[in-house]
Amino acid sequence: MRLVQINLQPHFGGGEVYTAFLCRALSELGIATRLLVHPRAGFWGRLGLPEDTEVVKVDASRTAVDCLPEGPLWLLAHGSLPAELLAAVPRRLRTAIAHMPVQGRNPAAFAGHDRVFAVSGWVRDGLVAAGLPAWPEPLYGVADLSRSTGASVIRRTSRYDWDRRKFRDRLCSWIEPCVDPLLPHPAYARREGLTLGIVSRITPIKQFPALFAILAPLLARYPGIHLEIFGAGGYASVRDLDAALAPLAGRVRFWGHQADVASVYRGIDYLLTGLPEKEALGLNVIEAQACGTPVLAPAAPPFTETVVDGATGFLYRDPREDDGADFVRLIERLRIMPHPPDPRTSQAHLDKFSFAAFLARLHPVVAWANGELRQ
Rounded percentage of the chain residues whose pLDDT exceeds 70: 92
Read off the pLDDT of residues 124-146 as tens digits, 9 standing for 90 and up: 999 999 999 999 999 999 998 86
Read off the pLDDT of residues 176-191 as tens digits, 9 standing for 90 and up: 676 667 677 789 999 9
Cα–Cα dist 158/179, whole Å:
11
Q: Is 107 helix (H, G, I), strand (E, B) or coil?
A: helix
Cα–Cα dist 40/161, whole Å:
13
Q: Where are the domains of the chain?
A: 3-142+354-374, 167-351
Cβ pair 90, 70 in contact under 8 A = no
Under CATH, to which class is 3-142+354-374 assigned?
A: alpha beta
Q: Tell me if domain 3-142+354-374 and domain 167-351 are identical in fold.
A: yes
Cα–Cα dist 11/41, whole Å:
7
Beta strands in the chain (DSSP E): 3-7, 33-37, 53-57, 73-78, 92-98, 115-118, 194-199, 225-230, 252-254, 270-272, 295-298, 313-316
Cα–Cα dist 40/26, whole Å:
25
Domain 167-351 has CATH 3.30.830.10: no
CA dihedral 296, 300, 306, 308 (to 10 degrees): 70
- Measured from the Cβ of residue 69, the count of other Cβ atoms closer than 10 Å reads 9
Sign (positive or negative) of CA dihedral 227, 230, 235, 237 = negative
Read off the pLDDT of residues 313-325 as tens digits, 9 standing for 90 and up: 999 999 999 999 9
The whole-number pLDDT of residue 155 equals: 92
**Whole-structure pTM value:** 0.91
